[in-house]
Amino acid sequence: MITKSDIKKAASGDEAAMEKIYQYYSAFVWNVALKTCLNRDVAADALQEVFIKVFKKLGSFRFYSSLKTWIYRITVNTTLNLIKKEKRREGLELDCTRLKARSGEPDLESKQTAQELLGTLDPEDRILIVMREMEGMSYKEIAASSKMTLSSVKTRIYRAREKMRTAYDKR
């Protein structure tokens, strides 16, 4: 649990507090970045960039929203901007083999299928699906993190599911 005091300490440069915040949120940022970028190197850049922004801007965090929503919003913006900036979309989506080669868990097939399904979506829809289906976030949380209305989040997620279903049928 991250307290207000942890946030204030981290904002003033306390490394232990910064590490606590990193440990608490890095799994989420990494999961969202990796599954949206579908490329480990770009996702690692996103992870690093998100936390650099978080710690540099923490001094201006005014507690209007929760730290969680604030970090989620930075994650969404940074990840999508990085994908646009890299302009390597084709490369990103073809990088699934590398992700596969690194995994050694028994549910490899499920992982591969998930990567294939996510690969059929645009990054903007993919990040919504990752937050909803893989991170279990509520539609309200997703709307706050992506600065979209609740109804457009739902519509886009339903459409993305439909798109993945069509791709799944064709397998």
Partner 1 sequence: MKCDRNLINKFLDGEISSNRKSRVKEHIENCAQCCRYYNEIAKITSVLRDAGKPNPPAGVFLRVKRNITPHKAFLLRARFALTAGAVLTLFLAVTGVFSPNGANAELDYYIESQLDALFGEGLRSELTVYEQNWQTQIEILLEEGEL
Name the site residues for partner 1 (rule: CB under 8 A).
Answer: 13, 15, 18-19, 22, 26-27, 29-31, 34-35, 40, 44, 47-48, 51-52, 55-56, 105, 107, 110-111, 113-115, 117-118, 129, 133-134, 136, 139, 154, 157-158, 161-162, 164-165, 168-169
Residue 74: its H or E element: helix 67-86
The sign of the torsion formed by the CA atoms of 108, 110, 113, 118 equals: negative
**How far apart are alpha carbons 24 and 29 in whole angstroms?**
10
- Between 64 and 169, whose beta carbon lies closer to partner 1? 169
- Between 56 and 85, whose beta carbon lies closer to partner 1? 56
**How far apart are alpha carbons 160 and 121 in whole angstroms?**
7
- Between 64 and 128, whose beta carbon lies closer to partner 1? 128
- Least separation in angstroms between CB 92 and partner 1: 17
Residue of 31, 20, 22 whose CA lies nearest to 99: 31
- Between 10 and 87, whose beta carbon lies closer to partner 1? 10
φ, ψ (nearest 5 deg) of residue 170: -80, -5
